[in-house]
Chain A
Amino acid sequence: MNKFLLEVKNLVTSFSIRGGLLAREIGRVHAVNDVTFSIKKGETLGLVGESGCGKTTLGRTILRLIEPSSGSIIFDGKDITSISREEMRAYRRKMQIIFQDPYASLNPRMTVANILSEPLIVHQLFTGKEERKKRLLDLLDYVRLPKDALNKYPHEFSGGQRQRISIARALAVGPEFIICDEPVSALDVSVQAQVVNLLMDLQKDLGLTYLFIAHDLKVVEYISRRVAVMYLGKVVEIACAAELYGSCRHPYTRALFSAIPNPDPTIKKERILLEGDIPSPINPPSGCYFHPRCFNASEQCSKLYPPVTLESQTHEYSCFHPVPPSC
């Protein structure tokens, strides 16, 4: 029995850029550029990064909502990278996704009952009328929504409640792995905490494994066991949450933590301000992608992409001039 539920190896997802008279391919943008990591059963891997880092594309590629260009995705020991659509459908029962926008992720013309029944209909589960009704009520219970929600439409609910409906939909087929793509970013602060708690409880009760994608480092740290930091399509550092937050080594990670405004006015920390903007993934810098903005960069950094350094068994990063440990 494989202890890794998901393994991603050298995954690349690229899109072609078309231009010219006949819309020929004039370039490729590597949204996900050679990413490797694994997630153990029951674990939560957090994935953070800013715009253009490829975290959302990575999430969707794992589910094959976007087709990978190369590399492999191994789920529970089976390579699902290029299996057929019919074979993939069986895996869709085991891997689900929750999206960021609570308003766009539910079909406005379907009742909650219909929305939750969709996955059951597609996979032909709980086919009996009574059985199905019970399953729907159980799902509402899991996400702490009342029974009368079944006949209502999405526009009658608040953002937090809609997110709960999305979670219930993801749980309908009894998945093992859920990709949470910025599930709380669009919610109010007090509601975020409720949904984070819900996700944590569900993980404990149902033995779920999560890939938690977010840009809010505080939330990611709270819910994840390990965290990977992405920049322009590559994972620049990956470590246990405590290691990352306590002793990160990559300059970008350090700058990221430094940039988070602290909800404590007494702490006046020295802010590392990065120069310039996040470059576009269409034309990444040569060598290490971060070197134009890096405060530790040298000549070497502009020529070669740094290889992976193992800081410990659970901590790796790609940098020629890492910062000394202590965030």
Chain B
Amino acid sequence: MQQPSLPQSTEDRILQVKGLQVKFSTEHGPVTAVQGVDFSVYRGKTIGIVGESGSGKSVSALAIMRLIPNPPGQVTAGEILYHGKDLLKASNQEMKAIRGNKISMIFQEPMTSLNPVFTIGNQIQEVLSLHQREFSKKDKIEKSIEMLKLVGIPSPEKRILDYPHQLSGGMRQRVMIAMALSCRPEILIADEPTTALDVTIQAQILELMKKLQQEFKMGIIMITHDLGVVAETCDQVAVMYCGRIVESSPVREIFANPIHPYTKGLLESIPSYDSTTGQDKNRLPTIEGMVPSLHNLPPGCNFQDRCAYAKDVCFGGQGGPPLVVNELDPRRKVACFYPLPYKEVAKS
């Protein structure tokens, strides 16, 4: 069988996260929120990090920006290589020069992410003041109008004088994107950027992000729990559960042939349209049980209690299954002792 080629040349790789481990101290003891996470971000491509609450996806993203609140959190192991340089060892000065400038982040709640007492214009100009010091005041105003136009806000010259509360949710998210992109970053981290938005607005924002990605050739880390968003926007997908990546594959492969039982369960539990009338449908297939508390993870695989396929070694004390590359397709990795059968996914 012909080996599919590796996804990207390493020249296109901008960020590589290796073995990331983040711990939090809580009143019930220390908790490992992120355990041994590896992934890479490539120029012009989007990697989706999917997971439910407690999976550690947001924490991983905050770790890249070194925004984990300390206390109670701490990055206890791993490397985050940005153009070969480990961000975890970078000085505060260096990180300040990177945040907002080379690596930007947008958040879920645009209302609370924007400062309510400053105008939109002020907030964009602030980003420019921090990183593009050579711009004059006039330049900054022009640039902020340009950014607002880029993100599709009508009458930007008037909008720069508005306050966040005067704009709708969709507009505010566009402003956030404008702020994040004003210094042309190489990487954009989007933490649930459309979760709080209406469906029609979400569609607009996702289209905007795709367009801007093509224009700026940015790498995007898309953190979400919505598999629909993942299917629409991502090239590579990493599924997280209880702080670990359980499966990582290109997007087509993961939807057509999920190898990890959790991924399969997630995909099946999304209600999908078919022609039988709603109310007479059968029950939705679900993943039984609940996400275990991070204080009380079982020995062996984290997913054992809910897995329909769990067997002997899954329960054992040898620790969780390691993330291994699939022999048949090196782009796919899974952390499972008994992964589901692999199927080659045809390219259309």
A interface residues with partner B (beta carbon < 8 Å) = 43-44, 46, 50-51, 158-161, 188-194, 196-197, 200-201, 215, 217-225, 227, 240-242, 245-246, 255-256, 258-266, 271, 273-274, 276-278
A263: chain B residues within 8 A (beta carbon): 227-228, 230-231, 255, 267, 270, 272
Q: Which residue of A lies closest to B285 (CB)?
A: A193
Q: Tell me if B225 is interfacial: C-beta within 8 Å of chain A.
A: yes
* Cβ contact of B225, chosen from A189, A222, A240, cutoff 8 A: A189
In the complex, what distance in Å separates the CA atom of A179 from the CA atom of B95?
A: 50
Complex CA–CA separation, A160 to B269 (angstroms)? 15
Chain A residues in 8 Å Cβ range of B53: 159, 188
23 A–B contacts from the bound complex (CB under 8 Å):
A50-B200, A188-B53, A188-B225, A189-B266, A190-B286, A190-B287, A190-B291, A193-B271, A196-B284, A197-B284, A215-B198, A215-B199, A218-B272, A223-B279, A241-B279, A242-B275, A259-B202, A263-B230, A265-B231, A265-B252, A266-B252, A274-B203, A278-B200
Let me know if B168 and A192 touch, CB within 8 A.
Answer: no
A278 near B198 with CB under 8 A, answer yes
Bound CA–CA A261/B281 (angstroms): 22
The answer on a CB contact under 8 Å between B290 and A51 is no
* Among A189, A221, A262, A273, residue most surrounded by chain B Cβ atoms (within 10 Å): A189
A222 adjacent to B232 (CB under 8 Å)? no
Output the nearest chain A residue to B277 by Cβ-Cβ distance. Answer: A242
Across the interface, A191 reaches (CB within 8 A) one of B231, B272, B290, namely: B290
B115 within 8 A of A: no
Closest 10 CB pairs of A and B: A261-B228, A222-B271, A193-B269, A50-B198, A259-B203, A241-B278, A188-B52, A225-B279, A193-B286, A263-B227
- Provided the pairs A190-B266, A266-B256 are in contact, do residues A261 and B206 lie with their beta carbons within 8 angstroms? yes
Look across to chain A and name the residue whose beta carbon is closest to the beta carbon of B226: A261
Q: How far is the CB of B78 from chain A (nearest CB, A)?
A: 26
Q: Determine whether B348 belongs to the interface, using a CB cutoff of 8 Å to chain A.
A: yes
Residues A273 and B273 in contact, CB atoms below 8 Å apart: no
A46 near B278 with CB under 8 A, answer yes
Flag if A222 contacts B227 (CB, 8 Å): no
Given known contacts A197-B283, A197-B284, A261-B229, is B290 in contact with A158 (CB within 8 Å)? yes
Residue interface mask B212-237, A partner, CB < 8 A = 1: 00000000000001111111110000
B contact residues around A259 at 8 Å (CB): 199-200, 202-203
Instruction: Contact check, A256 vs B199: say whether CB atoms are below 8 A apart.
Output: yes
Which chain A positions have C-beta within 8 A of B277? 225, 240-242
Give the docked Cα–Cα distance between A190 and B227 (Å): 12
B251 within 8 A of A: yes
Q: Is B156 an interface residue (CB 8 A)?
A: no
**Smallest CB gap from A276: residue in B:** B154
Candidate in A43, A50, A190, A224 with the most chain B CB atoms within 10 angstroms: A190
Task: Convert B188-213 into 0s and 1s, putting 1 for each residue whose CB lies closer than 8 angstroms to a CB of A.
Answer: 00000000001111111011000000
Contact A223 B278 (CB under 8 A): yes
- What's the Cα separation between A247 and B324 when bound, in Å? 46
Do residues B278 and A50 form an inter-chain contact, with CB atoms below 8 A? no
Give the most central of B169, B199, B287: most A CB within 10 Å.
Answer: B199
Instruction: Check if B171 is an interface residue, CB within 8 A of chain A.
Output: yes
How long is the Cα–Cα vector from A225 to B279 in the complex, in angstroms? Answer: 5
Interface size class of B (residues with CB under 8 A): 35 or more
CB distance from A68 to the nearest CB of B (A): 25
B36 at the interface (CB under 8 A from A): no
CB distance from B181 to the nearest CB of A (A): 20
Contact B52 A190 (CB under 8 A): yes
Which interface residue of A50, A160, A240 has the most chain B CB atoms within 10 A? A50
B265 at the interface (CB under 8 A from A): yes
What's the minimum C-beta distance from B163 to chain A, rounded to whole angstroms? 16
**Cβ-defined partner of A260 (8 Å) among B171, B199, B267, B291:** B199
- Which residue of the partner chain A has the closest CB to B233? A261
Q: In the docked arrangement, what's the CA distance between A219 and B199, Å?
A: 14
For A220, the chain B residues whose CB sits under 8 A away are: 278
Q: Please, which residues of chain B bring their CB within 8 A of the CB of A43?
A: 279
Q: If A217-B199, A266-B252 touch, does A194 touch B279 (CB 8 Å cutoff)?
A: no
Contact of A262 among B199, B228, B271 (CB under 8 A): B228
Which chain B positions have C-beta within 8 A of A242? 275-278
Closest to B50 in A: A189
Whether B271 pairs with A221 at a CB distance below 8 angstroms is yes
Report A-chain residues with C-beta under 8 Å of the C-beta of B267.
263
Q: B158-204: which have CB < 8 Å to A?
A: 168-171, 198-204
Residues B269 and A190 in contact, CB atoms below 8 Å apart? yes
- Provided the pairs A160-B290, A218-B273, A221-B273 are in contact, do residues A261 and B231 lie with their beta carbons within 8 angstroms? yes
- Bound-state Cα–Cα, A33 to B284, Å: 35
Q: Are B228 and A224 touching (Cβ within 8 A)?
A: no
Among residues of A, the one whose C-beta sits closest to the C-beta of B254 is: A265
The residues in B between 12 and 34 inclusive whose CB is less than 8 angstroms from any CB of A are: none
Most buried by A among B206, B265, B279, B283: B279
Query: How far apart sit A274 and B152, CA to CA, in the bound complex (Å)?
Result: 13
Complex interface: chain B residues within 8 A of A262 (CB): 228, 231-232
A224: contacting residue among B227, B276, B279, B348, CB under 8 A: B279
Whether the Cβ atoms of A188 and B291 lie closer than 8 Å is yes
Contact at B170–A277, with CB atoms within 8 Å? yes
Chain A's closest residue to B168 (CB) is A277
CA of A188 to CA of B256 in the docked complex: distance in angstroms?
A: 22
With A189-B266, A261-B206, A278-B201 in contact, do A218 and B271 touch (Cβ < 8 Å)? yes
| Residues of A close to B229: CB separation below 8 A | 261
* Residue from A192, A200, A220, A263 whose CB has the most chain B CB atoms within 10 Å: A263
- Nearest neighbor of B55 in chain A, beta-carbon distance: A188
CB distance from A102 to the nearest CB of B (A): 12
